[in-house]
Amino acid sequence: MIARPSSAVTARPSSAVIKAGALAVALVVALAVALAAQVAVAQETAPYRDPTLSVEERVADLLGRMTLEEKIGQMTLVEQGSIAPADVARYAIGGVLSGGGGYPPGDNTVDGWLAMVHGFQDAALGTRLGIPILYGVDAVHGHANLAGATVFPHNVGLGAADDPDLVEAIARATALEMIATGIYWNYAPVLAVPRDIRWGRTYEGYGEDPELVTRLATAMLRGLQGDDLAAADTVLATPKHFVADGGAMFATSPVTGGLVDRGDADIDDATLRRVHLAPYVDAVDQGARSIMISFSSVRGVPMHAHEHLVQEVLRGELGFDGFVLSDWGGIDVVAPILRRGGGAKHCGRHRHEHGAVRLPALHRRDAAGGGARRAVARTHRRRRRRRCAGEVRAGPVRAAVRRPVAAGRGGLGRAPRARARGRRSLAGAAEERTWGAPAGA
């Protein structure tokens, strides 16, 4: 027979036990608060926050404090319509962008832009390490997403004028109008050397002469970046699209009906270097710190997977030590090829060592139903699994993260609110719209 417990006896804690328990809880809470305060103070006084140290010293200290998840986040660039500030903080996202039509919903004004950008920036600065985001925008011929900003002639028109001083002045005006909205990273200039007029993006190039392209692209680079990227009136330029996007052959596009766009530049090495690589040589010499990879291919190998041209030529021969940016979803283009060529290990080598350090921009449509959140979370899970399987190597990840983080530590992410202060009246300056006009016009 199983004895039943007596219903007459009920165990009740004494008042002393209750008081002791309450005291223990209070002590735990107090200890947690004290530890949190110590951590906050330690982070606040950490070497990476010390502006008197060199960028290299600060970045080295910061990388030593970052978890793998934070490093993954810093290598991720998300379209602004696809993510909320809270998720920028949650996943330690390193970059947010405004593509075509990426203006603030319902308030396309300087104040609206500032509120939107600062919302993302404040979320990033409020995280454990407080790493500022890099906010980017396509402002190839003016900050055209901003209502009232000056939209300048496209590159083919500027190429026809062939006036480097005018192009540099246009870049300066564009930089100031970007700064008015709190943005310091421009996906320009375009270094394409179009060789087939049937290419639908021919107008984005300055012309078919590589010397002309080099001359005007470097003028644009100087106008955007000035002499010192830490200066308050400068923005980071991004020469694109590396390399030979203008050399794609007719009917080689992988896109249905694309014909030339994203096609294959089936050209010899001498032509590649003389025509298409030449502008990048000068761009790197002139201080380019960010370069975007092309959707196109060279001799059958997609540029997002072209280890020779990115690692050996761009980084090795040209000495480029900035960070390399994947084009919109560009990594997705090569994923099937990389899987066929050796699985995750092969894919991992290209993703990290190859320098496409910022993952594909998440499209605005991904925002529906939390798609952006799921996509970023999925990236975390995949890389965590690869790390456990030994397929994500610490060295390449560290090198890939170092470059965009160094850009932020070099002044682009410092005091973003203060840098934008006093710039609002520069947006849409009327005098800019008369530049290059004939006398008396």
With cut-offs at 50, 70 and 90, classify the pLDDT of residue 69. Answer: confident
Contact 427, 148 (CB under 8 A): yes
User: Residues 435, 166: contact at Cβ < 8 Å?
Assistant: yes
Task: Give the whole-angstrom CA distance, residue 313 versus residue 11.
Answer: 78
Phi, psi of 98, rounded to the nearest 5 degrees: -115, 110
| Beta bridge mates, 81 | none
pLDDT tens sequence across 92-134: 999 999 988 899 999 999 999 999 999 999 999 999 999 999 9
214 in Cβ contact with 192 (< 8 Å): no
Residue 53, by phi and psi: left (phi above 0), alpha (psi -120 to 50) or beta? beta
pLDDT at 434: 75
| CA–CA distance, 249 with 251 (Å, rounded to integer) | 6
Backbone angles phi, psi at 289, to 5 degrees: -115, -5
Euclidean distance between CA atoms 441 and 432, whole angstroms: 14
Beta strands at 95-98 and 134-137: parallel, antiparallel or unpaired: parallel
CATH of 70-427, one of 3.40.50.740, 3.20.20.300, 3.40.140.10, 3.40.50.300: 3.20.20.300
Tens digit of each residue's pLDDT (9 = 90 or more) over 283-295:
999 999 999 999 9
Q: State the span(s) of the chain assigned CATH 3.20.20.300.
A: 70-427
Cα Rg of the chain (Å, integer): 26
- Residue with the two structure tokens 């090829």: 337
221-257 pLDDT, tens digit per residue, is 999 999 999 899 999 999 999 999 999 999 999 988 8
Confidence check: pLDDT of 58 > 80: yes
* Adjacent-strand bridge partners of 290: 323
Under DSSP, is residue 96 helix (H, G, I), strand (E, B) or coil?
strand
**How high is the pLDDT of residue 409?**
64
Does residue 10 carry a pLDDT above 70? no
Whole-prediction pTM = 0.82
Residue of 333 and 234 predicted with greater confidence: 234
C-alpha span between 186 and 333 (Å, rounded):
23
* 414 CB-near residues (< 8 Å, 6+ apart): 51, 132, 230, 408
DSSP 245: G
Which runs of consecutive H residues, i.e. helices, occur in 181-319?
210-225, 269-271, 278-285, 307
pLDDT score recorded for residue 75: 86
